[in-house]
């Protein structure tokens, strides 16, 4: 069991430069996701909160909860490098659905945003948070 947890949480990009680059990528991506999409969840426009599309016809509360979690909580977990690979899974789902379903008929300029977020999050899923993350520090002290 410890080996499975270690594989999920641990990642090392091979060199200090690569690990710092991954840290910067992770933090800047998380900041932008929260700034642009997360903050919308708190703002009222015309007396109403942001409308979250529901193309999978989930219960409205569940759909809103997943979208809000993906845009508000996940960016902080990603920036800290805390359970990054698991945390980004719902956000990958939200961005991929945005690209493949919600914006499928839109122009490439509109589809570009969910596409780039999905690719960036998939990269983090594969590479992990890097050596400079809470996950790695936790494992270092645990084992």
Q: What is the pLDDT of residues 48-92, one digit of tens each?
A: 677 788 999 999 999 989 999 999 999 999 999 998 999 999 999
Six token digits for residue 40: 């919308």
Rounded Cα gap, residues 116 and 130, in angstroms: 20
Which tens digits make up the pLDDT trace of 25-45?
999 999 999 999 988 888 766
The CA dihedral of 77, 79, 81, 85, to the nearest 10 degrees, is 60
Mean pLDDT across the chain: 88
Other CB atoms within 10 Å distance of the CB of residue 39: 12
Q: What is the pLDDT of residue 45?
A: 67
Beta-carbon contacts of 8 under 8 Å, excluding residues fewer than 6 positions away, are: 85, 86
| More confidently predicted of 6 and 72 | 72
pTM of the model: 0.86
pLDDT at residue 142 is higher than 70: no
| Helix/strand/coil for 42 | coil
Query: Which two three-digit tokens encode residue 47?
Result: 């007396």
C-beta of residue 114 within 8 angstroms of C-beta of residue 96: yes
* CB neighbourhood size of 60 (10 A): 10
Question: 70 with 92: CB under 8 angstroms?
Answer: no
Of 141, 120, 91, 102, the C-alpha closest to 29 is: 120
Burial of 48 (0-12, 13-18, 19+ CB in 10 A): exposed
- The token duo for 139 is 């494992």
């Amino acid at each position: 069991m410890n080996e499975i947890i270690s594989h999920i949480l641990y990642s090392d990009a091979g060199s200090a430069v690569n690990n710092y680059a991954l840290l910067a990528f992770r933090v800047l991506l998380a900041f932008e996701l929260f700034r642009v999409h997360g903050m919308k969840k708190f703002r009222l426009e015309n007396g109403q909160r942001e409308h979250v599309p529901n193309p999978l016809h989930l219960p409205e509360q569940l759909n809103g909860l997943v979208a809000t979690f993906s845009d508000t909580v996940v960016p902080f977990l990603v920036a800290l490098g805390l359970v990054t690979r698991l945390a980004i899974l719902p956000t990958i789902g939200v961005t991929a659905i945005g690209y493949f379903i919600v914006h499928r008929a839109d122009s490439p300029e509109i589809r570009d945003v969910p596409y780039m977020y999905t690719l960036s999050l998939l990269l983090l899923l594969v590479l992990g948070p890097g050596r400079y993350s809470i996950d790695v520090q936790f494992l270092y002290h645990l084992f």
